Structure 1
Amino acid sequence: MARRTKAAEARDTRTAARVLWSTADWARAVAELPRKHPLPEASVLVPNERTAHALRRELCRLGLADRLPGIRFVSPFTAARETLLAAGVTFTAGEEALRPLRVRRLLRRERPMRYFDSIQLRSRPGWDDAFARTITELEGAGLSSSELLRAAQAREADLAAVWTELDAEAGTSWTAARILREAAERLPAACPLHGPILIAVTGHETVAHAAFLRALPRHSLAVLAARPVREEHLERLERLFGRACTEALRDARPPIGGATDRDRLAAHLFEPPERSPRAPAGRSPDGSVDLELCAGIEDELEAAADWIAHEVLEHRTPLEELAVLLPNLDPLAGMLVDRIERLPWPGGPLPVCIQGGLPASATAAGARILGLLRALGDALPASRVAAVLPWLRLEGDDGHLSTGEAVELAFALGTVGGTPSNPRGALEWKARLAERAEERQRTVDSRLSTLDSPPEHREVRRRRERLLRNLRAVRASFAALVDLAEGILAGESLPEIHARLIEFVERHVRLPAAGDEAVPALLLGAVEAGCVSQVVAELRGTEALRFVESTLAGLRVRGGRFGEPAVYVGTIAGTATLPFRAVRVIGLAEGHFPASERVDPVLPADGRRGAAGPTDRTLSQLHAFDRLVRNTSARVVLSVPASDVNGTEREPSALLLDVASAIAPDDRGPGRADVSVPGLADIARLWFEPARARRRAWRLERPLGPTASHDAAAAATAKATSPGVPDGGAGLVVVPGAWAGAGELDLARLLERETRGNEGPMGGFVASASVLPAIPGLARERPLSPTAVRTLLQCPYRFLLSSLLGWQEPVSAPTGLDLDPLSFGSLFHRVAEMFAREHGTEFGARSRGPDEWKATAAALARPAFDELAREVPLAGPDVRRQQLERLLAAVAVFVDYDWNGGRPRRLFACEHAFGEPEPFELRLGDNTLYLHGRIDRIDVEDERTVVRDLKTGRVHLRAGREADPEPRLDVQLALYGLAAERLAGEWGTPARIETAYAYVERRPALERAFRGDWELLREASLRWLDVAVRLLVERSFPRTPAAADCDYCPFVAVCGEAAPGRRFAPGPPAAGAAADFHALRAEEAPGS
């Protein structure tokens, strides 16, 4: 650590330091710099150009613009660089970015370690960054590797050895701390600054920074004051800048301003209770300080946009006087800027200035490139591939895959891609692309051309055709992506990988047409600049890819300049010294601000003997917030999201308690004399609830965007339909002009439909035949399947959405840890069908024993499983083996069950179709229901036709509440039995029917059977089907009255509050088939 001379200490004692409470105070100090010449020269050290511009502007506001000529604003780092250049020192800045790379290379070498485990350092990720960060902090604290080595401790010795090698390898590539230290040693001889120098310090500077500042000649110190003032901070300030600064800050008191809440907050924030008198009892908040609670991040961004509109329209605040601040720019800055720019503004988007620039990864192009890099870095796992596929160009098509199509395709190629333990799994994609394209074509051709095989369901056929079409369209881009991954796995160099990456992005990635097209070029230039360093140019494979990703993370675009007429978006720390008229701070949730201290795994704080150590991170954040409040002249709003960007629920930051303590009225009554800090309940009462009401009133009065317009229209409708409101509460609803065009946006039409409630089309009652296509089941050319009839009798509204409107369940990615129920059920049915077709007659005759038949069935199951495994990704051989054993177990259970105790049974058919080519007609009163389907198994036993449907899912026995026939369970089985009974003469089977569901994924297999009481199921089903056909004829599709039916319904979000059990759930219909349906469902046993 640099030592201070006695002369310097004496000089600091004699020279009183000035205390600056605001940027305006700072500007006055600049104006008071001595001027001894007609053409004066002076220098002011500032942290950045934003602060320099703020000081110039403050001087103009104070009427001191004549003091600006001759004053140079310069950052300490720029002054240090100029000092070294004046001294003729050769160096290169930016070693901080290269240091982790050097550390990684050094740690890979075999080296003796006294404290650290060298194997762990090489094998565990993150140690390179940790070592580099610790060494940089120690360098900033004024230590060197030799001083660290003298500590004679094992941990310090290991760290010093790595540090020594780093310095030797870096040569003239220096960090900022090294530049400041080297420059300080060459002062005052090589000082590039002329005239008096004003230096404003905070006490949070590093030792190297402070040593450089003290070494500057002709300087005068000023202290940027902030609260809370803690003794350890005063001690650090004295070590860095002398006793005069400490004494000045210790004795200083913030200026007492006006009587607004903002003035009280500036005067009393973080002050102890004895120095912070409470506001008079009964005094209400005046709006100059607001605390708001938002439902989540989306609501918080919407509230920020509302606040900007309110400031501009109500308070006439210029854009450049507005700031929206966050604890950190990532990941919210991009979303915030996007929301602000969507506010209506003449000539285009509302202008926004982003501190340092918008992160490139927050743009559409940057986000896609980042997603591509992460997919490649993870070795193209199926989940990452599914995310990337919609961004790839299609061959001969300007379109793109939808998210659902991408998920469907990625998980239909039979591989999970690469994993951390098997990165070369990424290369399996190319082989699977070629194989699946050929297999898909053969499958589609054979399924379409084979006449003697059972017809395939239309949806399954469409899915296969869609997969083949998408596979062909994206194949070229997908193959190029795999080629890129292959080069990375082969260990290509950074220049090679990056050149191929940029070429791939330009040729195969769909980038936005405007606005972000410069991101690839910027990334190319940044990586090429980095390759000037040998340690970067030598990177290969995944390390090279990580460097590209980190470079992209550091890129900034569309920044703008502070002071332009634009809303400012930045961080709390980066904006503390900038004056604004109104500021809104968002994201003030627990753990986000102030953020917790970081624990150093390499050299904890208690091990840094003799070093000033890093600054107190929490205290520096509180100081930044304090300065921010005092530099805001009119209004401060603090916003808290109830959940963060990941959806995690968060409590409000403790900072809000400090703010409330400074401005809350003194409402302590009897029994509360000892309470000095308001609680969350007080904050909710005084600020959260009134702010929510004011915001809602503003949005309803001036709806400036689609969301606000929706809220206003909904509020007006609710008011118009409220009982007791004169004239129905009718009023003018102001909506965007674009809403008055197309019929689907016609509010009058929508409101008219809404007044009809659940009796109109929105409730499933479609009177007009022109609205819907031909109803399936009522026309010979559109027969219904038993599965669709089951859906109709469970929830007619779901039938409307799926079977009539063609809505589909959203595609979801399989886990890779097992076969989903649908895939496993289809696989088992395929094996059972093959076994029955090839060996059913012989098996029915019981010509061999059950063990032999189990082996025969297993021999059929294995290749069927292998065929499915080429389509469904399973994570590794262990999962494949477990799922194969699951299938073999189910097949063995089925053979045992079908063995029937050894009693012979004649197989009539398996997967037997009925209703094709001519539909099966079922007369139900005056109506006819047209049906088609396939029956899993039809056997003949003792002059009885046994109809069975094989199940691999949940078991429903005829016991307890489910003993009697129920439509949601038994209508499929009943239809199979009715078809077998009606067609017995045509098929040559007995007319006496028995039916059963066979649950074969249990040992032993279980049945839900109607063997001796088929007539009971028959009579019940005819009543059910009469209701079903009348629902179709009347075009009535009401929602189910059973809330349990919604548990796994993919369309439950469509029903919303009209779903059963919700606030607007419809009551039972008064008449017609819909009323009979409700009565039918009411007959079911409760909870069934």
Structure 2
Amino acid sequence: MSRVVFESPSARARVDRAAEWLGGRREPHVTIVAASIDAAAEVARTAIARSNGLRASLGWQRTTLGALAASLARTELARLGLVPASALALEALCARVVHNHGDTLGRLAPIRERPGLPRALARTLGELRLARAEKIADPTLARLLAAYEAELEATKLADRARTLAIATEVARGRTGLAPASAALLLLDVPLRSRAERELVEALVEKAPAALAVIPTGDERALELASAALDVTKREEHVPDATEGPLAQLWSGLFGATAAEGTRVPDEAVTVLSAPGESRECVEIARLVLAEAAESRTPLDRMAVLLRAPRYGAHVVEAFRRAKIPVYFARGTTRPDPSGRAFLALLACAAEQLSARRFSEYLSLGEVPDEGKDGAPPPALPRADRVAAPDDETLHALVGAGAAEERPEQPDEALLSEPQAPPVAEEDQGAAFGTLRTPRHWERLLVEAAVIGEAGRWRSRLAGLAAKLADDIEAYDKKDETALADGLRRELAALEALRRFALPLVDDLAALPRSATWGEWIEKLGALASRALRRPDRVLAVLGELEPMSKVANIDISEVRLVLEPRLSQLRIPELGRRYGKVFVATTDEARGLAFDVVFVPGLAEKIFPQKVVEDPLLLDAAREKLSPDLPTNKDRTDDERLALRLAVGAAKRRVVLSYPRLDVEQARPRTPSFYGLEVLRVAEGQLGDFEHLAEKAASTAEARIGWPAPAKREDAIDEAEYDLALLKNVLEKPENEVNGEGRYLVDANPHLSRALRFRWMRWDPKALRPSDGLVNPPPEALAAIHEHATDKRSFSPTALQNFAACPYRFLLSAVHKLAPREEPAAIEDMDPLTKGSLVHEVQYRLLTRLRDDGLLPMTADTLEAARERLDAILPEVAGEYRERLHPAIGRVWDDSITGIGADLREWLRRMLEDSDWTPVHFELSFGLKDPRAQDVKSTDEPVRLDIGLRLRGSIDLVERRKDGALRATDHKTGKIKAKKDETVIGGGEILQPVLYALTLERMFPDSKVVDGVLYYCTSAGNFEKVEVPLNDNARASAHMVAKTVSDALVKGFLPTAPNIEKKGYSACTWCDFKDVCGPYEEIRTKKKPQAPLKVLAELRKKK
């Protein structure tokens, strides 16, 4: 019986030798065990192709060692009631072991709570079992291994070592899949453990012939294969120059000396560098295109072999841009919507039922169809919550490339379109995985101020529903049909949201604060089956955690820590065959495959080679004493070197090595790997330094960090690079030599044309243009803006004040109705807006009660009674605000309320000093169409002023003097901005005193209005009153404001012109629209012509 081991550094030579042996087999059955199914299929095709049609692959079993072991052990595992365990399940089992043996952990006791300990322990114990290690000297590790094995038996789980052991027994008994007469081919199988060697030994025992093909440098696999096969012949292949230009490189890597006087052709070894991993992959894509065009190399004869899997995303993006078809051996990853939706729910529970997190869940399109009552479907029974393991778990169980055939079509479960629901969409709250009107529920959650526990969800949503119902009734009484119908639609959307959301919120609130993993798995499984349209993957991951069921004291943060890495990303298997596509894989996945050209990215320190460290739980010194089959740092270093040998050996004609010069994420330079120097040492016959490596790389590609395009436009991989390369060339030429070379850009790309023209117009100092806001609008826009003229619609004083600060801000806020997005969140401090709103509410309720109780005007005798009412009203209003805003820090809120109370008492006391004036109207509104108007004199219609304005708003306080004269008071709770005895309109930015006084004249034509007052009614404003008499100057100033705004609307002239004449800040400093305009408006607008803004400048000068 022939037992041969063939060793070669060349993948092509190894595949040829295996194909030659395979073609000569006459046995009816041959088992081809390769590192991957792709490799096994490749050698079979090669053997058949070389037989000139005389051979077929009938009877040839193509498999991997892991898949073969699983196949052999399947029946016996079922008989014993054992289930193969995934990596996550084994980590869970180790977590249970650590938890159960916390008192006997010895030296590991200080790190028992660290989340990385179960993972490290699973790795170490797995290696010990694969090595069949006995008599462990470390008592702690020995106890943990015994406990681990006991847990495996108790939970009926089979780890890889147990599966290999059972498969070995089956193979020796010849009751497995492979017949006794099957010849055995081992193609680049990465044998690493004693358990694997014993399985191969059992497979070889009755095989009529066996061949093991091993890559040079894989000393561990060579040793184990030689022992397993009991070889009768060992063949060591030394490539010569006739086999290709890389023969010297294959043989010389990591050798003692370089061959003198010999040199690998420059075109066979290429080194390049780029600023960052992403740009590095772009340069690789560029070379792939050049190789295919110039050398006519088929795409499937090229490969990109990775040492760091994180490069995969960069390769996907670069090759997508270059329109190069690629084949990923392990498939690609993409965000998993169902997993992320479930993680959003867990985040919602962890963040005290955060409405923002719940909105995130709703937006991910994984909402299930609701039941007839509008609620989520009921949770599946425990017995029905079963899901098959995903591809990633199967890969961990049986090894790389386990599947016999890859599907030609995508998995319908992954890519199928949602089916139309049996109920009409307009009758559903949810359809196709998301609520029908996301903008409605998001706004409703904000309006309801849903912050906090489940009780607040119910009370706030119920409160909003009651408010909407009251508003509908009030509008119906006023015959405001359109407004009432709009609120009815709003109420219907709110009811749909309540029916669907509240049951899930209750489920989230019912999650335990701390529990065993078993309780968590039960609760989370029920939640997933109820809250997700496709819960299978979540249920599969939870199923893997079953061995951890008894581990106690697990809180939700630990649950999220375990689940997030597995649920956030989904691995999508590659479809179809690899032919006609560039092959992308790790170096281990490329075993047994040969290519003409191979690209090896990432030759930088800690990427390739990766950092080699000892196992912290079982150091190398202890490993060497325990078993020669346990890997040590020497073996790990050899594996890193082997990875380079495999990558270089996979190439027949050319190898391209690359490295990133920069770590873009951390903004620091990267050090090239010494592996690059080693390759150049062998290729050039002498050892150079890193400067030589950099010079070599620079001669290949001129990748610049500041300009992501090649030096020559002909080398561009897509349109964007082509355009940038051309522009760089044009910009470097003298202006007189440029003759319209870039003209095609503005013709071919309307978006670029618009962007360039827009940028030029924004920074053009010669004129104001449409890029500067609303300037010279087309007729359609002008007609639209005319609908907002001052004689056709109403404005509030606050909106008009925005005009003086910046006309464009006025346009965005008053015309386009833009505003910052609101998100419900617990406040940490009371902001000025909240403080002002609360103070105004207290003042309104207090003054109303004082009037109703006959305590106005106030006297010294009634002051104490007024204070008692204030002391009753303030806690009432503060409680309502506290319920709505849910402050995060109660003490800070209470201190703010205490300060407000002190200010209001002083405000109340000072009312006595103004005994000539009596409060008569409070929150007098006009034009607001408030369904519950605050004052009996309020009106739904705006007030038309003689100056040409239609005004809407609400006057905080109207007071009547003893002689019947009126004045309007606007309460302010901030610092003083107006100047006493100077301010009239404050440059157009303080309009309430004058405009409210004019409004009172129209609303009370029989009364004389003397002035308007800004009352800074808190200690922040020193209780200062700024009175603005309603005289001719005030009327003229108000008319100037109205005319300026009216003319701007008629002309359609509302440019970006922020007021920058203020000390230390400008109108842009706290503007809500900085994201719209950009950060340089103060600088840019200073350079614009000021003549068209003369009227605005005059308005701003008006005190």
| 1:893 maps onto 2:903 in alignment | yes
Match of 1:442 in 2: 469
Q: Which amino acid aligns with 1:889?
A: G
Mapped contact 2:286–2:715 kept (Cα < 8 A): no
What displacement does 1:999 show? 7.3
Match of 2:147 among 148, 162, 165: 162
Indicate conservation of the 8 Å contact 2:131/2:193, yes or no. yes
Partner in structure 2 of residue 936 of structure 1: 956
Query: For 1:698-717, what aligned pairs fall within 5 Å after superposition?
Result: none
Distance 1:855 1:602, change over 3 A: farther
- Does the alignment pair 1:176 with 2:207? no
| Contact 2:791/2:950 (8 A) holds in 1 | yes
1:624 matched residue in structure 2 = 643
Amino acid at match of 2:162: R
Q: Distance in 2 between matches of 1:110 and 1:1025?
A: 81
Q: Is the 8 A contact 1:596 1:618 kept in 2?
A: no
CA distance in 2, matches of 1:901, 1:273: 99
Cα displacement (A) at 1:27: 1.0
- Aligned equivalent of 1:230: none
Q: Following TM superposition, by how much is the alpha carbon of 1:855 offset from its aligned partner in structure 2, in angstroms?
A: 6.1
Q: Does 1:763 align with 2:781?
A: no
Partner of 1:396: 427
- Note closer, same or farther for the CA distance 1:77–1:471 as it changes in structure 2 (3 Å cut): same
Deviation at 1:386, TM superposition (A): 1.6
- Find the counterpart in structure 2 of residue 75 from structure 1: 64
- 1:793 is aligned to 804
| C-alpha separation in 2, matches of 1:615 and 1:152 | 17
Q: Which amino acid aligns with 1:445?
A: I
Instruction: Describe how 1:313-462 pairs up with structure 2 within 5 A.
Output: 318-321=298-301, 333=313, 353-359=327-333, 362=335, 364=337, 367-368=340-341, 371=344, 380-390=353-363, 391=365, 392=367, 396=427, 400=435, 407-416=442-451, 425=453, 427-428=454-455, 431-432=458-459, 435-436=462-463, 438-442=465-469, 444-445=471-472, 448=475
Q: Any idea what the Cα deviations from partners look like across 1:360-416, whole Å, max 9, x if unmatched?
A: x63556654665576578885433212012234687255746776555444555554
Answer yes or no: is 1:559 the counterpart of 2:574: yes
Q: Distance in 2 between matches of 1:269 and 1:407?
A: 62
Is 1:472 the equivalent of 2:495?
A: yes
Say if 2:997 and 2:1012, in contact at 8 Å, map to a contact too: no
Which residue of 22, 38, 46 maps to 2:34?
Answer: 46
Does the aligned pair in 2 maintain the 1:582–1:635 contact within 8 Å?
yes
Q: 1:1034 aligns with which of 1045, 1048, 1051?
A: 1051
Shift in Å at residue 52 of structure 1? 2.0
| Residue number among 8, 12, 16 corresponding to 1:28 in the alignment | 16
Aligned equivalents of 2:729, 2:63: Cα separation in 1:
59
What is the one-letter code of the residue matched to 1:627? L
**Aligned-pair distance for 1:49?**
0.9
State the SS of the aligned residue for 1:1061: helix
Q: Which runs of 5+ in 2 are unaligned?
A: 370-424, 928-938
User: What's the CA shift for 1:1070?
Assistant: 5.3
Equivalent position amino acid for 1:785 in 2: S
Work out the CA distance in 2 between the residues paired with 1:413 and 1:57.
67
Distance 1:641 1:365 in 2: 38
Within the alignment, does 1:143 sit opposite 2:133 as a pair? yes
Tell me the distance in 2 between the aligned counterparts of 1:1030 and 1:930.
15
Contact 1:204 1:620 in 2 (8 A): no
Deviation at 1:766? 3.5
> Please, what TM-score do these two structures have when normalized by structure 2?
0.70
> Structure 1: how far apart are the matches of 2:288 and 2:489?
47
Contact 1:387 1:403 in 2 (8 A): no
Whole-Å separation in 2 of the counterparts to 1:985 and 1:35? 105
Q: Distance in 1 between matches of 2:707 and 2:145?
A: 60
RMSD: 6.3
**Distance apart, 1:243 and its partner CA:** 15
Question: Quick one: structure 1 residues 1057 and 592, their matched pair in 2 at CA, closer, same or farther if it must change by over 3 Å?
Answer: farther
Q: Percent identity?
A: 19
Q: Return closer, same or farther for 1:1054/1:1004 CA change in 2, 3 Å cut-off.
A: closer
SS in 2 for 1:770: helix
Q: Which moved more, 1:317-326 or 1:539-548?
A: 539-548
Aligned to 1:99: 90
> 1:373 and 1:395, CA in 2 relative to 1: closer, same or farther beyond 3 A?
farther
Segment drifting more, 475-484 vs 263-272 = 263-272
Does 1:292 pair with 2:274?
yes
1:115 alignment partner, one of 97, 103, 106: 106
Which residue pairs with 1:610 in the alignment?
A: 626
Structure 1 residue runs without a partner (length 5+): 1-14, 227-232, 345-349, 418-424, 507-518, 668-672, 740-744
Task: Report the AA paired with residue 1061 of structure 1.
Answer: I
Distance 1:984 1:563, change over 3 A: closer
Contact 1:958 1:1009 in 2 (8 A): no
User: 1:193-228 deviations in whole A, cap 9, x for unaligned?
Assistant: 7677555669882454355556755766654346xx
The 1-side partners of 2:708 and 2:908 are apart by 71
Where 2:956 maps in the other structure, the secondary structure is strand
Q: CA deviation at 1:48?
A: 1.8
TM superposition shift of 1:128: 4.7
Please list, as runs of the form range in 1=range in 2, the aligned pairs for 1:715-864 lying within 5 A after superposition. Answer: 724=736, 728-729=740-741, 731-733=743-745, 759-764=768-773, 765-772=775-782, 773-775=784-786, 778-812=789-823, 814=825, 816-818=827-829, 822-839=833-850, 842=855, 845-847=858-860, 856-864=869-877
Distance in 2 (CA, whole Å) between partners of 1:406 and 1:199 is: 61
Q: Is the 8 A contact 1:487 1:541 kept in 2?
A: no
Asked if structure 1 preserves the Cα contact closer than 8 Å seen for 2:35 and 2:65, the reply is: yes
Q: How many residues align?
A: 983
- How far apart are the structure 1 equivalents of 2:544 and 2:445? 35
Instruction: Report the equivalent of 2:196.
Output: 209
How far the C-alpha of 1:895 sits from its partner, in A, is 3.1
Contact 1:938 1:946 (8 Å CA) reproduced:
yes
Aligned residue for 2:1055, secondary structure, equals coil
- Higher RCO (Cα < 8 Å, 6 or more apart): 2
**Counterpart contact for 1:786–1:971, Cα < 8 Å:** no
Q: Which letter does structure 2 place at the counterpart of 1:1068?
A: K
CA distance in 2, matches of 1:613, 1:893: 76
Does the CA contact (< 8 Å) of 2:1013 and 2:1028 recur in 1? Answer: no
Amino acid at match of 2:500: S
Task: Kindly indicate whether the alpha-carbon contact (under 8 Å) linking 1:481 and 1:504 is maintained by their aligned counterparts in 2.
Answer: yes
Q: Structure 1 residues 622 and 851 mapped into 2: Cα distance closer, same or farther (>3 Å)?
A: farther
**C-alpha contact (below 8 Å) 1:323/1:582 kept by paired residues:** yes
Per-residue deviation at 1:785?
Answer: 1.6
Q: CA deviation digits over 1:768-808, x for unaligned, max 9?
A: 45315244763333122222223222222233333333444
CA contact (8 A) 1:912 1:935 kept: yes
Contact kept? 2:796, 2:951, Cα under 8 Å: yes
What is the distance in 2 between the residues matched to 1:910 and 1:685?
80
The letter for the 2-side match of 1:385 is F
Structure 1 length as normaliser, TM-score? 0.71
Are the equivalent residues in 2 in contact too, given 1:22–1:577 (CA < 8 A)? no
Mapped to 1, the partners of 2:527 and 2:536 lie a distance apart of 13
How far did residue 24 of structure 1 move?
A: 1.1
What is the aligned partner in structure 2 of residue 509 from structure 1? Answer: none
Mapped contact 1:854–1:891 kept (Cα < 8 A): no
